[in-house]
Amino acid sequence: MSHEKTNLEKLRILLPHWIDHSHNHQDEFTKWLDIARKEGQNEAAEEIAKALKLMHQTDHALENALKLLGGKVEGHHHHHH
Q: Alpha-carbon torsion 16, 17, 21, 24, what sign?
A: positive
- Per-residue confidence (pLDDT) for residue 3, from 0 to 100: 72
pLDDT at 1: 59
Pinpoint the alpha helices (H) of the chain: 7-38, 42-68
Spatial distance between the Cα atoms of 69 and 2, rounded to a whole number of angstroms: 22
Q: Is the pTM of this model over 0.85?
A: no
pLDDT of residue 62: 97
Distance of CA 54 to the CA centre of its chain: 11
The domains of the chain are located at: 42-70
User: What is the structure's pLDDT at 5?
Assistant: 86
**Tens of pLDDT, residue by residue, the chain (81 residues):** 567 889 999 999 999 999 999 999 999 999 999 999 999 999 999 999 999 999 999 999 999 999 999 999 887 665 554
